[in-house]
Amino acid sequence: MAQLQLYTGSTQIQLNVYIKNSVSGNGLTGLTAASAGLSAYYFIAGNTMPVLIPLSAVTLGTWVAGGFVEVDPVHCPGLYALGLPNVAWNGRMLTIILQGAAQMVPVAYEIELTATNNQDALRGGLLALPAGPMMFKKGQSLANFEFLMVNSVDGRTPMPGLTVTSAVSKDGALPVFTDNAPTEIVSPLFSGMYKINLTINDTSGNTLTYFFMAPGAQTTVVEIITQP
């Protein structure tokens, strides 16, 4: 039994089905939705009965629930496309069975229905995360980048009220001043906190080292490896 994985929220899925000839062991060609005896069922784990998938002729590349079409009997003998019904995407495990045509080896596919979509390039299927960049991006502006300034003597006492100068070294080059200057975050709960709006120019490197400097304060150094 072939094992697959698909996202529970998937729709209009065409399953590639390989059907063998029971006599020769090669791919069985020439089947259609109207082939005598051919049937398809799906079964959701936990249910009491399998469900018939009524088969119908369809153009290759076009999804129809139950649409069944041969891919290419010359270059891909035995390969067919089956349109899976959207209503099948429930539960956690789904099994598809095709059988019954002359000289056909029955085919079974077990599909795990996942709660995350591994085809989601933005969040890796973790939909609870924000729909935006989750890492420090190369060449992308970043607002309100925060950092702490502390006393240069003891190295731990927060230092409010500073005029901070900032610079960045890109990929080991000499530091240059950032396009914007930092500003203080005035808060009785977070003394010594500052922020800066980094521009595209400030983040255009693979390895970035930021320096935040002010008289009486220890230089704050932040090293970043950017995401492409």
Q: Which domains does the chain have, with CATH numbers?
A: 2-114 (2.60.40), 142-225 (2.60.40)
pLDDT of residue 107: 96
pLDDT of residue 11: 87
Convert the pLDDT of each residue in 117-161 to its tens digit: 777 665 666 655 555 555 688 999 999 999 999 999 998 999 999
pLDDT of residue 224: 92
For the chain, give the secondary structure using H, E and C.
CEEEEEECCCCCCEEEEECEECCCCCECCCCCCCCCCCEEEEEECCCCCCEECCCEECCCCCCCCCEEEEEECCCEEEEEEEECCHHHCCCCEEEEEEECCCCECCEEEEEEEECCCCCCCCCCCCCCCCCCCCCCECCCCEEEEEEECEECCCCCCECCCCCCEEEEEECCCCCEECCCCCEECCCCCCCCEEEEEECCHHHCCCEEEEEEECCCECCEEEEEECEC
pLDDT of residue 132: 53
pLDDT of residue 75: 97
Q: For the chain, list residues with pLDDT below 50.
A: none
